[in-house]
Amino acid sequence: MAGARVLLVDDDADICHFLATLLELEGMEPVIAGSAEEALPAVASAAAVLLDVAMPRIDGLELCRRMRASGYTGPILVVSARPGAELPARAAAAGASGFVRKPFDNAELVGRLQALIGATAPG
């Protein structure tokens, strides 16, 4: 898991910078994509994906579906501040491995991500 490449997908550059720093402190290798269009070609080399729902043009749930349709089998952790009790179920239906609501606890987010990466790591 150390050095695991994590694709961060969010159109908010400040959030991406914060998450990248957080993941680097945990020994992971963050790769930032500011849109679905940037994320799709980068997903193949990712051990995991951390994906925001609210993005312009292609939202995170549609991106999740497209990643799965492209053959990506790694964990996808969806984060969102959008209200609604149905959102975690919609994320799961789109192919997400987990869901975390914003604002999130940093330790919880990192722990969930590490658990997902560990559960899919070979060996």
User: What is the per-residue pLDDT for 55?
Assistant: 92
Instruction: Give the three-class secondary structure for 6.
Output: strand
User: What is the per-residue pLDDT for 90?
Assistant: 96
Kindly report, residue by residue over 77-93, the tens digit of the pLDDT.
Answer: 999 988 888 999 999 99
Find out whether 110 and 80 touch, Cβ atoms under 8 Å. no
User: What is the per-residue pLDDT for 121?
Assistant: 64
User: What is the per-residue pLDDT for 84?
Assistant: 83
For 85, phi then psi, to 5°, come to -70, -20
| Residue whose structure tokens are 């080399």 | 45
Q: How far apart are CA 46 and CA 48, in angstroms?
A: 5
User: What is the per-residue pLDDT for 122?
Assistant: 57
Find out whether 50 and 67 touch, Cβ atoms under 8 Å. no
**Which residues, given as ranges, of the chain have pLDDT below 50?**
123
In order of their start, the domains of the chain are 5-120 (3.40.50.2300)
User: What is the per-residue pLDDT for 79?
Assistant: 95
